Amino acid sequence: MSFMERVAPVVDETIRALAKTKFIPDPVAGLKYSRATSIVSSAYKRHGRILETALRESLRESNRHKVWQEDAFRVSRAADALVGSQTEDACRQTTLPYGDCVRTIQVDVVAFDSADQTIRAYEVK
């Protein structure tokens, strides 16, 4: 399946959802202009999912990356404490076991680069 065949359904779904959404008309702008403004404003908020999908699918085409999203990445108490008490460089040099969990976060794109043996996580806006 090509890149566009994988991304187009997300774009189409976003457009369909925007077309069906009911908006409260703004009495100053009127029905036509308030609906148009609401659709454009909502589209800006929803384009993050399109960008996530496009980035993830483009990296999947690379022969050096394994790519996924993580809906419930586990964050341990130790990881939370580390972030608040050390510099970013010090945090990068630290290793912690994965598994303990006091909370979870959603990670848009996780990419393992086999060429340099690194794993990176991205929050896409």
Residues 84, 51 share a domain: no
Residues 33, 76 share a domain: no
Extract the tokens encoding 19: 């077309």
Spell out the per-residue pLDDT of the chain, length 125, in tens: 888 999 999 999 988 988 888 888 888 888 889 888 888 888 887 788 888 999 999 999 999 999 999 999 999 999 989 988 888 898 888 899 998 899 999 999 999 999 999 999 999 88
Instruction: Show which of 16, 32, 61 is a domain's final residue.
Output: 61
Residues 121, 78 share a domain: yes
pTM over 0.85: no
CA-to-CA distance for 35 and 46, rounded, in angstroms? Answer: 16
Listing DSSP states for 39-84 in one string gives HHHHHHHHHHHHHHHHHHHHHHTSTTEEEEEEEEEEE-HHHHHHHH
Residues 2, 33 share a domain: yes
Residues 121, 68 share a domain: yes
**Domain of 22, in residue numbers:** 1-61
Q: Is the dihedral of CA 61, 65, 68, 69 positive or negative?
A: negative
Q: What is the pLDDT of residue 48?
A: 83
Q: Report how many domains make up the chain.
A: 2
Residues 68, 56 share a domain: no
